[in-house]
Structure 1
Amino acid sequence: MYKDNDFVYEAFSNLQELVKMEITVDSTRQPYDAVIQISNHTFYCIAKKNARKSSLGIVINQINEFKNSIKQDRRILFVGEYIAKDVADSLIQNNINYLDVSGNCFINADDLKIIIEGRKQIKQKNVNQARAFQEAGLKLILLLLTDKEALEYSYRMLADKANIALGSVSQIMKELEESNYILKTNEKRILKNIDDLIERWVVSYNDILKPRLLRKTYKAINLDYLRKIVSDNNTKFLLFGGEPAAEKMTNYLKPLEYIIYSNDDLSIIGKELMLVPDNNGNIKIYNTCWTESLNNEYLNIAPALVVYADLIGSGNSRNIETAKMILENEL
């Protein structure tokens, strides 16, 4: 599949102008997006158009997988058309060299050190303007990725199970076909390019849909009691996401921040969990964006894709590590 990486050349051209050093670029060396020479140093590049906080976890996981797939002594350089400032800071904290099209960079290799900050970024492009990656589309894609039988449902059933308009289903399914995410044959529909579809869903969910679902932020009067509620799994009206869900799914993460999905009355939730409103609290209550018909093998846990998106969107390195486990084992 063609990958639009023309911005890689622009990034290195701008860097060459800034540092007045000769830089050579070779973009034909698989599996790299480019191999570059700066002075006597070679860097193996992985490129991505936009790197925002909502996709930071995905970017870091991809870079780490890329590192593990090549020889250990090869230096990695992440190249982005747009790299948000908080993402750049996180890349530096993770000892990852980076460069954007404007020339902002952190490149550190033995006797070579180039740090450029503060150059005006190009305007970030919204790559998810298609209807499929707006609210209704995100609900439908969640259903398609979570329910293995959903691709065989009629449009009417898809609309009912995703709780969206029937007309929206037709338009979204057509977009997904045109974007090469669904292959339609005479007998059935097949999901394609699932990894890319998951990535776009996660970014759009965190950017577009999840902020609309937020209801209120709290703190716990008794955190041990809240942890017991999560552990007991006996609440009929609560579904846990993020860190508490990941703890149940992986037995790896001890939650510090709590995400809870529920459409019930906030006063009932607050009383049941012994919560008090606090804008700086570590407990966030969200509405659900799926119907009760969506099957889930974990009791009182949000769909695995939602949990994965919660962890990725946190930007926390341990959450990102746990998210990778869920991606590999649950999605």
Structure 2
Amino acid sequence: MNMKALDILHQAIEKLTMLTGGTVTYLPDPQHPGKKEIDATVELTFGTRNTVFIIEVRNELRINHIPAVQKLKTETVQEFLLVCQYIPMPLKAQLRELKINYLEAAGNCYIETAEIFLYINDQQVTATRLPAEGKLWKMAGLKFLFAILRHPDLLNGPYRKIADEAGIALGNIGGYLEELRKEGFLRDGIINNTKGFFIEQNTRLMERWAEAYEANLRPREWIGNFRFMDQNNIKNWRELKTVDFKWGGENAAALMTGFLHPERFTIYITGNRVDMMKKLKLVPDPNGPVEMLQQFWRDEENDNTQATVPPLLAFAELITKYDSRDREAAERIKAKYLD
């Protein structure tokens, strides 16, 4: 275990004991020899109850890490605990669904065994514990990235055009481009016999954007969950007129690839929530299958009839889900529209 991982582990354990009153004993040797992923073995004590945990430490957790974490959990004899500096909120929900114990450096945790149940989710993640990411991966930066990933030619045009397409302030563009260059996603070269800029590592940038979108931008655009008053709309959803809304998620995949039969219904609206509820005959329901979000991008000129969100957004919504069908649909969208 390197010094960074050791520091994360010590921070997390110290915070956990402070919040819960429990005690933690580091056992001298990992009890899972031959597994390089195992970073430590600890015994967590509450009163007379002692539980041994095999620990894996990660600086940050991404959606594509979860299968490996789940595999490691199933291979351990003792209880398993994932310790991270920071875990995005959507990934915490997935870990809980998979019954994977986790602990953040800030003390937020989900730990469930036969003897223990701990769920802490109100500890503020301080700036020092967040991954070292700049403004590029916050809300406005993600809108900027969405624009240039959809329209790479914008990189060689005026900043004003990028700002207008992304719907962000003009003054941010130079900083975003510089950050993009520093992270190795922007290069200059010869394009059509003209010197200009182009995106490098396009697939990696799309995947990184998808993760950041799920964690930082999508929650800002989320309106709520609903259900159809007319249950026939579940079966006949393709017949609904897409006026002032577009299909995202599984619906977009079904329309783009013919692969999925949607179980959930995702719509991005351009107008008023109440008007859309009346139009589609929706009623609020926190457990409803219809998810409504606000559209954050600008439609193509002279094209207000597109029934689905842009392929990049459909890819992002599906690739960040743990469901294997959704991830396969995402890969099909990528192969057909984005490669």
User: TM-score w.r.t. structure 2 length?
Assistant: 0.66
| Secondary structure at the counterpart of residue 287 of structure 2 | coil
Letter in 2 for 1:203: E
In 2: Cα distance, 1:280 partner to 1:131 partner: 33
Stretch deviating more after TM superposition (38-47 or 256-265): 38-47
**Corresponding residue SS for 2:266:** strand
User: Which structure would you say has the larger RCO, counting Cα contacts within 8 Å and 6 or more residues apart?
Assistant: 1
What is the letter of the counterpart of residue 278 of structure 2?
A: K
Q: Give the C-alpha shift of residue 116 in structure 1.
A: 10
Q: Distance in 2 between matches of 1:291 and 1:279?
A: 29
Which residue identity lines up with residue 212 of structure 2 in the other structure? S
Give how far 1:247 is off.
1.9
Question: Residue 287 of structure 1 aligns with which residue?
Answer: 294
1:39 Cα shift?
A: 5.5
Return the alpha-carbon distance in structure 1 between the equivalents of residues 301 and 68 of structure 2: 29
CA shift at 1:233, angstroms?
7.1
Question: Quick one: distance in 1 between partners of 2:105 and 2:289?
Answer: 37
Matched, 1:155 2:152: no
Q: Give the one of 205, 212, 221 matched to 1:204.
A: 212
Pairwise CA distance, 1:263: 1.1
Q: Residue 255 of structure 2 corresponds to which residue in structure 1? A: 248
Q: Structure 1 CA distance, aligned partners of 2:175 and 2:158?
A: 14
2:267 maps to 260
Q: Indicate the larger mover: 317-326 or 265-274.
A: 317-326
* 1:59 aligned partner: 65
Q: 1:222 matched to which residue of 2? A: 230
Equivalent of 1:275, from 258, 277, 282? 282
| Equivalent of residue 143 in structure 1, options 121, 144, 147 | 147
Residue 184 (structure 2) aligned to one of 157, 180, 183? 180
RMSD: 4.6
Check the 8 A contact 1:147/1:294 in 2, yes or no: no
Identity of aligned residues (%): 25
Aligned AA (1:58): N
Distance 2:302 2:141 in 1: 19
**Counterparts in 2 of 1:144 and 1:276: CA distance versus 1, 3 Å:** same
* Residue of structure 2 equivalent to 1:310: 317
Rounded to whole Å, the distance in 2 between the matches of 1:280 and 1:89 is 15
How far did residue 219 of structure 1 move?
0.9
Gaps of 5+ in 2: 14-23, 39-55, 76-80
Residues in 2 aligned to 1:212 and 1:306: alpha-carbon distance in whole angstroms: 15
Provide the rounded CA distance (Å) in 1 between the counterparts of 2:69 and 2:335.
Answer: 16
Matches within 5 A, 1:25-40: 40=33
Hey, what's the Cα distance between the residues in 1 that align with 2:222 and 2:124?
30
Structure 1 residue 291, shift from structure 2 partner:
0.4
Match of 1:193 in 2: 201
Q: Does 1:7 align with 2:16?
A: no
Shift of 1:171: 2.0
CA contact (8 A) 1:218 1:284 kept: yes
Distance 1:105 1:178, change over 3 A: same
**Cα 1:277/1:22, change in 2 over 3 Å:** closer
- One-letter code aligned to 2:64: I
Residues 128 and 245 of structure 1, relative CA distance in 2, 3 Å threshold: farther
Given the superposition, is the C-alpha separation of residues 215 and 89 from structure 1 closer, same or farther in structure 2, using an over 3 Å criterion?
Answer: closer
The C-alpha deviation readout for 1:235-264, integer Å capped at 9, x for no partner, is 232211112112223323222221101112
Matched, 1:323 2:327: no
CA distance in 2, matches of 1:325, 1:61: 20
Structure 2 CA distance for aligned equivalents of residues 83 and 210 of structure 1: 16
Aligned partners of 2:328, 2:103: CA distance in 1, in Å?
24
Moved more, 239-248 or 316-325: 316-325
Give the AA of the match of 2:169.
Answer: A
SS in 1 for 2:259: coil
1:171 corresponds in structure 2 to: 175
Contact 1:61/1:324 (8 A) holds in 2: no
Structure 2 residue 123 is the aligned partner of structure 1 residue 126:
no
Q: Does 1:41 align with 2:34?
A: yes
CA distance in 2, matches of 1:95, 1:211: 23
Report the CA distance between 1:328 and its aligned residue: 4.7
How far did residue 105 of structure 1 move? 12
Alpha-carbon distance, 1:308 to partner: 2.5
How many pairs are equivalent?
295
The alpha carbon displacement at 1:129 in A equals: 4.7
Q: 1:308–1:323: 8 Å Cα contact kept in structure 2?
A: yes
Q: TM-score, normalised by structure 1?
A: 0.67
